[in-house]
Amino acid sequence: MTPSSDHARGTSPTLDVAAYARSLDCVHCGLCLPTCPTWQVTTLETESPRGRVYLMRALAEGRVADANAIRPFLDHCLDCRACETACPSGVRYGELLESTRAAIERAAPRRGLAAWLVRTLLWHVVARQGRLRAAFAGLRAAELLGLRWLATRTRLLPAAMAALAPRVPPGRERRPLPTGLHQPPAGVARRGVRVALFTGCVMEPLFGRVHRATLQVLLANGFEVLVPAAQRCCGALLVHSGRPDRARELARANVAAFAEADIVVDNAAGCGCAMAEYGHLLGDAAGAAFARKRRDICTFLAQAGLSAEPAECRAKAAYDDPCHLCHGQGIRREPRELLARVPGLEIVPHARPEECCGSAGIYNLLQPDLAAAIGRRKADSLVAAGVDLVLTGNPGCMLQIDSHLRRIGHQRPVRHPIELLVPAR
C-alpha cells in the first residue's frame, strides 16, 4: 500500500514505498528511548527514535503540515543506530532516516549560508584530499599565528566551537602515507596475504599516527599492504547530508581504486560502515562486491590472529565502542580481544560504552549544543570509571572525547586500539 495521496500537499515530500513500509514495523513500544543520546539529554519525544519514526510516518502519510517544522528533529539525530540495536521489531531506522532526509532535501533544498558552507566544504574540500591537506596546513599556520585565540577573543568564533575545533598537529604528523605496495620487514614471517588500506579523509591530517600504526601492525604481522593512490573519501558525510548522488560518485571512484585488491581494510568506523553499504548506495554488483571484501582493521586482525606481540602498555583503559562499529557493524568483541593481548593493559568497564559521544561525523559542528551535552555524558562516564587512557576506533570520536575530557578538566590520552598493537622494536 502506498502512502495516502489524498492528503499529499505541495510541500509534503513523498517517501518511496519501501521506506514507508519500514516505518510501519514500529509498534511504538519505546524500548529505543533510553538508548538514544538526544532523548537522554532532552527527554523530548520528538528527539527520540520512536518519535522520529512516528513523525517520518506522519510525513509520508501527508499529516505533517510543514516538513520544515519537523526537519530540525531529524537533523538532531546523530545517526548512531543505537536504536536499531535495541529494536525488537527490527525497524531499519537508519535507512528510513536517510530516505526521509533525502526526500525532504529534494522537496525543499536547504538555503542559507550555513547549509551552503557545509555543502561546499564537504564536496569541494573534504572530498578532495589535496585541498583538504592544504586546508589543514592553513589551519595549522593560523593556529601558530594565534588566530584561534584572536578569533575567540574577538568573538568571531563562539568559544564553545573554538574549544571543540581540532588542534591541528604539526606537518610531520600530517604527512600522507606513501602510496603503493609495502612489504613486511626482513625477518618477519610472511603470510602471503595482500591487503589494501583505505585512508579516508580526516584521519590522515588529524591522526596520521593511526595510519602509520596500522601500516606498521599489518607489516609486522606479515601482511603485504597496498595503499592505492586513486582512493577518495568514503562519502558517508554526503549521504548523511542528503546528497547520495555525490556520495555515489565517490563510491564509484573507490570501487575502481580498489578493483585489484582482495581485501580492503579500514581503520575508521564511520568510513567502514558507509562502505559496507556501497551495495545499497550504488545498487549494483560492483558496490556489493566491494562491501563484501572490506573489513574493519580490528576484525581483520582478530580473525587472522596476531603473530607479533604488542608492546607493553601499563595503563588502566576504557574501550569506547564507536557507534558505527557496534551498532553499525555489530563489532564489539574483536577490538576487546585484541586489546586483551596487550601486556600490562587493564581494560575496565564504564557506564555507557555504546552510547554515542556526540561526534557523529560533522554533528558537533552543526549541532554544537546537543553535541556538547552528549559529549559531556560520555566524558563523565569515562572519568567515573577512573581510567588513564581511552581507546576508540574512529577519528571523530577521538576528537570529541578528547575535547570533552579537556573541557571538564580531565585530559586523558585518547588512542585508536591499533596504536596499542604496534610491537616493541
Partner 1 sequence: MQALERDLCRLLGAQRVVYEPDALLAWECDGFTVHRSRPRAVVLPDSTAEVQAIVRLLHAADVPFVPRGAGTCLSGGPTAAATTVVIDLSRMRRVLRIAVEDLFAVVQPGVVNLDLTAAVRHLGLHYAPDPSSQSVCTIGGNLAENSGGPHCFKYGMTQDHVLSALVVLPDGELARLGCEAGSRPPHALDLPALFCGSEGTFAIATEITVRLCRDQESVRTLLFAFASMSAACRTVSDVVAAGLVPAALEILDQATIRAVEASVYRAGYPPEAAAVLLVELDGPDFVTAEEAAEVRACGERHAALRIEEAVEPQERARLWKGRKGAFGAMGRLATDLYVLDGVVPRTRLEEALERIAAIGRRHGVVPNNVFHAGDGNLHPNISFDGRCPDQTARTIAAGHEILQLCVDLGGSITGEHGVGSEKLDHIGMMFSPADLDVMARVRAVFDPDGRCNPGKALPSRAGCAEVAKWPQMVARVLGVEDGA
Contacts with partner 1 by CB under 8 A lie at: 1, 24-31, 33-34, 43-46, 48, 50-52, 54-55, 58, 63-66, 69-70, 73, 85-91
Report in angstroms how near the CB of residue 299 gets to partner 1 at its nearest: 20
For partner 1, the closer of residues 87 and 420 by Cβ is 87
Report in angstroms how near the CB of residue 83 gets to partner 1 at its nearest: 11
For partner 1, the closer of residues 88 and 170 by Cβ is 88
Contact 14, 60 (CB under 8 A): yes
Which letter, b or e, does each residue of 57-78 get, where b requires 16 or more Cβ atoms within 10 Å of its Cβ? Answer: bebbbbebeebeebbebbbbbb
SS3 30: coil
For partner 1, the closer of residues 25 and 95 by Cβ is 25
Which letter, b or e, does each residue of 138-153 get, where b requires 16 or more Cβ atoms within 10 Å of its Cβ? Answer: ebbeeeeeeebeebbe
For partner 1, the closer of residues 70 and 225 by Cβ is 70
- What Cα–Cα distance (Å) separates residue 78 from each residue in 38, 73, 251, 421? 8, 10, 22, 30
Report in angstroms how near the CB of residue 376 gets to partner 1 at its nearest: 16
- Rounded to the nearest 10 degrees, the angle between the axes of helix 49-60 and helix 93-107 is 50
The C-alpha cell that represents 381 in the structure block: 562516564
For partner 1, the closer of residues 92 and 406 by Cβ is 92
Report in angstroms how near the CB of residue 87 gets to partner 1 at its nearest: 7
For partner 1, the closer of residues 34 and 180 by Cβ is 34
From first CA to last CA, the distance across the chain in angstroms is 64
The CA-CA-CA angle for residues 42, 111, 81, to 5°, reads: 40
* Residue type for position 370: L
Instruction: Determine the length of the chain.
Output: 425
Report in angstroms how near the CB of residue 85 gets to partner 1 at its nearest: 7
Report in angstroms how near the CB of residue 46 gets to partner 1 at its nearest: 5
Report in angstroms how near the CB of residue 402 gets to partner 1 at its nearest: 28
For partner 1, the closer of residues 16 and 45 by Cβ is 45
Report in angstroms how near the CB of residue 9 gets to partner 1 at its nearest: 12
Q: What share of the chain is helix, strand, coil (3-state, %, to 5)?
A: 55, 10, 40
For partner 1, the closer of residues 12 and 392 by Cβ is 12
Q: Residue 392 region, left (φ>0) first, then alpha (ψ -120 to 50), else beta?
A: beta
